[in-house]
A and B are shown apart, each in its own frame.
Chain A
Amino acid sequence: MKLDLALRELHRSEKSLAADLLKVADRHKVDHEIYHVARDLARWSQQHVHELAEIGPRYNLNLKSDPPEEAQEDSGLLSTVRSKASELVGRRPEPGLLLLADLRHLHRVAAGVSLDWELLGQGAQAAKDSELLALTKRCHPQSLRQMRWANAMLKVLSPQVLAS
Chain B
Amino acid sequence: MDRIVQRSKELLAEQGPSALGFYTTGQLFLEEYYTLGVIAHGAIGTNHVDGNTRLCTATAAEALKESFACDGQPGSYSDVDHADVIALYGHNVAETQTVLWMRMLDRLAAPNPPKLICVDPRETPVAQAATVHLAPLPGTNVALMNAILHEIIRNDWVDHDYVAAYTVGYDELAKQVEDYPAQRVAEICQVPAEQIHEAARIIGTAKRLLSTVLQGFYQSHQATAAAVQVNNVNIIRGMLGKPGAGILQMNGQPTAENTRECGADGDLAGFRNWANDSHVAELARIWNIDQMQIPHYSPPTHLMQMMRYVEQGTIRLLWVSGTNPAVSLPELRRIRSILSQQRLFLVVQDLFLTETAALADVVLPAATWAEKTGTFTNADRTVHLSDKAVEPPGQARPDLDIFLDYARRMDFRDKDGQPLPPWHDPESAFEAWKRCSAGRPCDYTGLSYAKLRGGSGIQWPCTAEHPDGTERIYLDGQFWSTPDYCESYGRDLITGAPVEPTEYRPMNPAGKAVIKAAEYLPPHESRPRRTPHHGPSAPMSRPPTAAPPPMRMNKPLEVGSEARPRAARTAPLGEVPGR
Binds B, one of A31-39, A61-69, A122-130: A31-39
The size class of the interface chain B forms with chain A is: 20 to 34
Q: Determine whether B541 belongs to the interface, using a CB cutoff of 8 Å to chain A.
A: no
Contacts of A118 in B (CB 8 A): none
Q: Determine whether B220 belongs to the interface, using a CB cutoff of 8 Å to chain A.
A: no
Known A-B contacts A33-B304, A163-B18; the reply to A148 vs B297 at CB < 8 A is no
Among A41, A43, A152, A163, contact of B498 (Cβ-Cβ < 8 Å): A152
CA distance A92 to B341 in the complex (A): 13
Please tell me if the beta carbons of A33 and B305 are within 8 angstroms of each other in the complex.
yes
Q: Determine whether B492 belongs to the interface, using a CB cutoff of 8 Å to chain A.
A: yes
Please tell me if the beta carbons of B497 and A160 are within 8 angstroms of each other in the complex.
no
Q: Mark B268-310, 1 if CB is under 8 A from A, else 0.
A: 0000000000000000000000000000011101001100110
Among A31, A37, A163, contact of B16 (Cβ-Cβ < 8 Å): A163
Contacts of A41 in B (CB 8 A): 495
CA distance A40 to B522 in the complex (A): 9
Among B16, B298, B304, B494, contact of A156 (Cβ-Cβ < 8 Å): B298
Please tell me if the beta carbons of A164 and B19 are within 8 angstroms of each other in the complex.
yes
Among B312, B314, B524, contact of A36 (Cβ-Cβ < 8 Å): B524
| Contacts of B178-220 to chain A: CB distance below 8 A | none
| Contacts of B232-281 to chain A: CB distance below 8 A | none
CA distance A151 to B502 in the complex (A): 15
Please tell me if the beta carbons of B309 and A145 are within 8 angstroms of each other in the complex.
no
Contacts of B573 in A (CB 8 A): none
Please tell me if the beta carbons of A93 and B313 are within 8 angstroms of each other in the complex.
yes
Contacts of A31 in B (CB 8 A): 308
Please tell me if the beta carbons of B495 and A145 are within 8 angstroms of each other in the complex.
yes
Q: Determine whether B15 belongs to the interface, using a CB cutoff of 8 Å to chain A.
A: yes
Among A32, A145, A153, contact of B494 (Cβ-Cβ < 8 Å): A145
| Contacts of B470-501 to chain A: CB distance below 8 A | 492, 494-498
Contacts of A33 in B (CB 8 A): 304-305, 496
Judged by DSSP, the binding face of A is helix
Which chain B residue shows the least CB distance to A153?
Answer: B497
Contacts of B311 in A (CB 8 A): 30, 90-91
Q: Taking the nearest CB of chain A, how far is it from the CB of B489, in angstroms? A: 12
Which chain B residue shows the least CB distance to A36?
Answer: B524
Q: Determine whether B141 belongs to the interface, using a CB cutoff of 8 Å to chain A.
A: no
Among B16, B308, B312, B492, contact of A149 (Cβ-Cβ < 8 Å): B492
Please tell me if the beta carbons of A155 and B314 are within 8 angstroms of each other in the complex.
no
| Contacts of A131-158 to chain B: CB distance below 8 A | 145-146, 148-149, 151-153, 155-156
Q: Determine whether B521 belongs to the interface, using a CB cutoff of 8 Å to chain A.
A: yes
Please tell me if the beta carbons of B18 and A152 are within 8 angstroms of each other in the complex.
no
Q: Determine whether A112 belongs to the interface, using a CB cutoff of 8 Å to chain B.
A: no
Known A-B contacts A91-B311, A92-B312, A96-B314; the reply to A159 vs B47 at CB < 8 A is yes
Please tell me if the beta carbons of B495 and A159 are within 8 angstroms of each other in the complex.
no
Please tell me if the beta carbons of A159 and B19 are within 8 angstroms of each other in the complex.
no
Contacts of B313 in A (CB 8 A): 91-93
Please tell me if the beta carbons of B521 and A40 are within 8 angstroms of each other in the complex.
yes
Please tell me if the beta carbons of B298 and A155 are within 8 angstroms of each other in the complex.
yes
Contacts of A56 in B (CB 8 A): none
Among B15, B312, B492, B495, contact of A91 (Cβ-Cβ < 8 Å): B312
Q: Taking the nearest CB of chain A, how far is it from the CB of B115, in angstroms? A: 36
Q: Taking the nearest CB of chain B, how far is it from the CB of A40, in angstroms? A: 6
Known A-B contacts A33-B305, A90-B311; the reply to A152 vs B494 at CB < 8 A is no
- B residues with CB within 8 A of A: 15-16, 18-19, 47, 297-299, 301, 304-305, 308-309, 311-314, 341, 492, 494-498, 521, 524
13 contacts across the A-B interface (CB closer than 8 A): A39-B524, A40-B521, A92-B312, A92-B313, A93-B314, A148-B492, A152-B495, A152-B497, A152-B498, A156-B299, A159-B47, A163-B16, A164-B15
Given A30-B308, A37-B495, 19 more contacts at CB 8 Å? A32-B304, A33-B304, A40-B494, A40-B495, A40-B521, A40-B524, A43-B521, A92-B312, A92-B313, A96-B312, A145-B495, A145-B497, A148-B495, A152-B498, A156-B298, A160-B309, A163-B16, A164-B16, A164-B309
- A residues with CB within 8 A of B: 30-33, 36-37, 39-41, 43, 90-93, 95-96, 145-146, 148-149, 151-153, 155-156, 159-161, 163-164
